Structure 1
Amino acid sequence: MKAPESVSLPGGAGYTLPVNWYPADSASGAVVLMAALGMGARFYLPLAKALQAAGLNVALLEQRGHGESPWRPSRSCDWGFREPLVNEIPVALDWVKSRSARLPVYLMGHSLGGHYSAMASGVYGGQIDGIILAACGSPWLGGFTGATRSKLKFLCAMIPPASSILGYYPGDKLGFGGREARTLMQDWLALAKTNRYQANGFSDDLDCGIAQYSGPVLSLRMADDAFAPPASVEAVVEKFITATVSNVVLDEQMLGDRADHFRWARSPTATVQQIVHWHVKQQSGKE
């Protein structure tokens, strides 16, 4: 396989977006890959390498505020859903397209990265050949029951005061996410309460945009994922009213590992097989 490259792209307002680029031999497509809340890009190296080995170029984006990102959230350093959506994703898409001439380019995200992918489909749909949602469920309280719902309600109650006092959200202390920007968590909280996307400072109706996206969508749900149970995943998928959605459930036997919110990315063989199968199906349908 070709050696990965480290690239820096302009992310708006003085921010520099770190990207790990994994070019495939004889690539048949490309994937722009985004991380879950609180996760740095390094966690997804096994997944990126497996996708590369399967013949897909991969641009692994660093999440703002984590890993190799040059910024960390504080009272004076803040952002929300808007900044990745407006400043990072379109730049990454353009760059990947310049390195993947005439190849289909898919936007893929894990959890929060999946939400970014969904929102982007309604804004940049013409530039995206497909959306891949991995372990991506809405934090909407209506999608949960029992102990997990109670934990989410507590978390929702803690986000505003903690963020106000500290100037950022202390997820590393509260046990959900990492140290996150306060506006990002305000946007996340709105989703948890209403199951509608909002991005502070972005006026377009994001859910309306998603409803108009007509490309293919692959939703990969993990069978034992407490953070993205069936109703939570459906709350995201049902937003794609005109898209062609393929739903796949991966269990422990298929993965060879726990089918939870995170382990699938460390044992990515079965996940990559599903992505490649879906990718081939999309391309054969165009011939």
Structure 2
Amino acid sequence: MESVIIVLPNRQTIAASVWTSTAPVAVVLIHPGTGIAQRYYEPFARHLAAAGFHVVTYDYRGIGRSRPASLRGMDITMADWLEDDVGAVTRWAAARFAELPLLAVGHSLGGHALALNSTTNLLHGAVLVASHAGVTATVTGLAERLRIGLVMRVLTPLLTTIYGYMPARKLGLGEDLPAGVMRQWSRWTALPRYFFDDPAMDAQARMARVRTPLLVLGFADDPWANPHAIGMLVAPLVNASVARRQIAPRDAGLAAIGHMGFFRQRVGALLWPRVVDWLRDKATAPKEAS
């Protein structure tokens, strides 16, 4: 594994890792979910490298190895992650591995980026894993809706004001988050159509520009990325070839998958080969016209 630093135009940096294959057919970028450090995706990255892909993992600014000494006063939003961080990593990989097809896998928020980002049409194909419009009202189960509502409506404004960032680790909610990221996410979750109701995002028009083939994976025991919420997210991808797969854990021989499970090795042994085959097929097929 090679550690690299990707420099953005504003001179801020993103910490990334490159997992190399001896005979690569393509490069796969792994775009993380919210508050999830790149180390979580290491088993999947190693599997892809063994299957014949170079792989790039990274941390959004403010997360994991991309976290500065202090998150207080860090001026960054979730929209910045979706466009600037993902765009910088994609352009860096396209330049570093110019001779290889470029692919991507986006987990949750990472799938949002693939649907929105101006660099997505550089890709030969992309997989969205448990990606959904994160409207609190669409979460399956009353208890989970109430929990998410408490975090977003009560704890977010309170704790980001007290600490200057979201101390998510203290709450068992993953990595700490910059205040601007958490506050914008909180606002989106309260809107009927998530960021589609934020005029500044222009999400519907941006998604209509995407022409990259997409594989969209959902899991029957995921209370957040349920079929309705996934449908809300992908419906505006009107010019992309979108293949949706809804997987029930029992049908895959698993006890559970949920929102996070796809990237765990015990699940991966059964589900990753399907994704590897899809990625390899897109890497070797002619690229869709953008």
Report the Cα offset of residue 283 of structure 1.
4.9
TM-superposed deviation, 1:134 = 1.0
Distance 1:42 1:170 in 2: 19
Which region of structure 1 is more displaced relative to structure 2, 270-279 or 215-224? 270-279
Cα-to-partner distance string for 1:231-254 (whole Å, 9 max, x where unaligned):
222222223122111112334352
Partner of 2:279: 279
- Equivalent of 1:188, from 152, 162, 185? 185
Confirm or deny that 1:10 pairs with 2:15: no
The equivalences for 1:203-218 within 5 A come to 203=200, 205-218=202-215
* 2:129 paired with 1:134: yes
Q: Is the 8 A contact 2:2 2:19 kept in 1?
A: yes
Aligned residues of 1:77 and 1:181 also touching (Cα < 8 A): yes
Q: TM-score, normalised by structure 2?
A: 0.85
Report the equivalent of 2:160: 163
- CA distance 1:241–1:72, change in 2 (3 Å): farther
Task: Tell me by how many angstroms 1:140 deviates.
Answer: 0.7
Q: State which drifts further: 52-61 or 271-280.
A: 271-280
Q: Structure 1 283/171 Cα, relative in aligned 2: closer, same or farther at 3 Å?
A: closer
Partner of 1:252: 249
Please, which runs of 5 or more residues in structure 2 have no aligned partner?
Answer: none
1:144 counterpart = 2:142: no
- Aligned partner of 1:49 in structure 2 is 46
User: Quick one: distance in 2 between partners of 1:183 and 1:72?
Assistant: 17
Per-residue Cα deviation, 1:261-287 (whole angstroms, up to 9, x for no partner)? 222212223332222222244356539
- 1:109 is matched with which residue? 106
- Once the two structures are TM-superposed, the CA of residue 164 in structure 1 deviates from its matched residue by 2.4
Unaligned segments of structure 1, at least 5 residues: none
Query: Within 2, Cα distance between the matches of 1:53 and 1:265?
Result: 16
Shift of 1:80: 0.9
- 1-structure distance, mates of 2:77, 2:23: 37
- In 1, Cα distance between equivalents of 2:24 and 2:283: 13
Give, in whole Å, the separation in 1 of the partners of 2:29 and 2:23.
Answer: 17
Is the 2:208–2:239 contact (alpha carbons within 8 Å) kept by the matching residues of 1? yes
- Residue equivalent to 1:263: 261
Which deviates more from structure 2 when the two are superposed, residues 65-74 or residues 12-21? 65-74
Inter-partner Cα distance in structure 2 for 1:44 and 1:257: 21
Counterparts of 1:180 and 1:263, CA distance in 2: 22
How many pairs are equivalent? Answer: 281
Deviates more, 1:42-51 or 1:28-37: 28-37
Counterpart AA for 2:131: C
Say whether the 8 Å CA contact 1:50–1:269 is kept in structure 2: no
**Alignment partners' CA distance in 2, 1:107 and 1:255:** 26
Checking the alignment, whether the CA contact within 8 Å between 2:133 and 2:194 is kept in structure 1 is no
Amino acid of the structure 2 residue aligned with 1:271 = L
Q: Which moved more, 1:168-177 or 1:34-43?
A: 168-177
Distance (Å, rounded) in 2 between the aligned partners of 1:72 and 1:36:
22
Matched, 1:92 2:103: no
* CA pair 142-68 structure 1, distance change in 2 beyond 3 A: same
Q: Closer, same or farther in 2 for the Cα pair 1:73/1:153, shift >3 Å?
A: farther
Whether the 8 Å contact between 1:44 and 1:265 is mirrored in structure 2 is yes
Q: Which runs of 4+ in 1 moved over 4 A?
A: none
Alpha-carbon distance change, 56 to 271 in structure 1, aligned in 2, over 3 angstroms: farther
* Cα 1:255–1:242 shift into 2, 3 Å: farther
Instruction: Give the Cα–Cα distance (whole angstroms) in 1 for the partners of residues 31 and 258 of structure 2.
Output: 18
Structure 1 pair 255/197, CA: closer, same or farther in 2 (3 Å)?
Answer: farther
Write out aligned runs for 1:58-97 (5 A): 58-71=55-68, 74-97=71-94
Determine if contact 2:195/2:201 at 8 Å carries over to the other structure: no
What CA distance in whole angstroms lies between the structure 2 residues aligned with 1:230 and 1:90? 28
Q: CA RMSD in A?
A: 2.7
Q: Secondary structure at the match of 2:64?
A: coil
Report the CA distance between 1:219 and its aligned residue.
1.0
Alpha-carbon shift at residue 184 of structure 1 (Å): 0.7
Equivalent residue letter for 2:98: A
